[in-house]
Structure 1
């Protein structure tokens, strides 16, 4: 998939392209949250994290209860450990419990659940293949060297960056990078 955003004067453009070699953000970046994989749909999906973190044993004690296990674990983690727990059931992918321990959440201010949701959304975007790169290009006009009439316009790459997870964030960053290169905030798509 390639999506193109052009500057108002059409001198620059940003190409948003699928990053086929994006790394799993859980393996390659710092993160504060822990993830317990509940269901991989009979092995169809890989576990989110191999190590479920410090509360994984607690999940092991209640995981047998398929009707109330998530609710029991969530209450236990919140009451006895002060953890923030978010359940994830993506349309395609492993079902999981994401949690943040209080010592990791203390520096996040008033929105630790939003931080945990951002980690989850980043991973789910990667797992769904929504990883992008941004290529900034400038139009180049070519004139014939022999003096005859006619020109040719091509695009020359001037910058690129990769590793954007999620279409919305990638598109926002493409517009920001394009405006920076074009020197104007006016963009046309």
Structure 2
């Protein structure tokens, strides 16, 4: 059992983080907007991030032979010819890949306001999943907060939080909700 992350002021509720062992690959989500081309699977150790690589995968296949300038040329091509953005990912344990969106997709997403941040967020979510950094929280309640070893009963849980900082923030927010509800107030 994991240690409590936080406890309510009255000691009646606590929240624990546990690793989410059944987390879905975020790239399987139908809402993903970013295309990914896997450029190095470390001799087949890792599978491709996305199977098809998106609408510009054929361009990458033409440039991939040039290991010195291929990535830079692809980035320039996407920016100049498609008004898009390319970010490179090279996690310690995972495939090296290019994450991109075309200018038209960027415009449709948010009129180009936060597109690079959106690409980076999808990339970080995938890297968290790949590293096993996916969490669930469990809210527990006790009727005897003053006891030396109180008995805790689970009252709620939620999983699928990619990245520890995000999971901790969501867990603390859930704890505040239950503590406020118990006290008869609401946030």
Scaled by the length of structure 2, the TM-score of the pair is: 0.89
2:118 matches 1:118: no
CA contact under 8 A between 1:33 and 1:101: conserved in structure 2?
A: no
Q: How does 1:25-104 map to 2 (within 5 A)?
A: 25-104=26-105
Scaled by the length of structure 1, the TM-score of the pair is: 0.88
Deviation of 1:141 (Å): 3.0
Q: What is aligned with 2:173?
A: 176
Q: Distance in 2 between matches of 1:27 and 1:138?
A: 35
Q: Distance in 2 between matches of 1:29 and 1:136?
A: 30
Give the structure with the higher percent strand. 1
- For residue 104 of structure 1, give the secondary structure of its aligned residue in structure 2: helix
CA contact under 8 A between 1:84 and 1:99: conserved in structure 2?
A: yes
- For residue 121 of structure 1, give the secondary structure of its aligned residue in structure 2: helix
Q: Distance in 2 between matches of 1:151 and 1:175?
A: 24
Runs (5+) with no aligned partner, structure 2? 182-187
Q: What is aligned with 2:2?
A: 2
Equivalent of 2:130, from 127, 135, 146?
A: 127
- The alignment yields a C-alpha RMSD, in angstroms, of 1.9
Deviation of 1:68 (Å): 0.7
Q: Deviations over 1:6-41 (max 9, x none)?
A: 222221111110011111000035111000000010
Q: Distance in 2 between matches of 1:108 and 1:129?
A: 30
Q: Distance in 2 between matches of 1:177 and 1:2?
A: 17
CA contact under 8 A between 1:62 and 1:72: conserved in structure 2?
A: yes
Runs (5+) with no aligned partner, structure 1? 143-149, 185-189
CA contact under 8 A between 1:2 and 1:18: conserved in structure 2?
A: no
| Matched length | 177
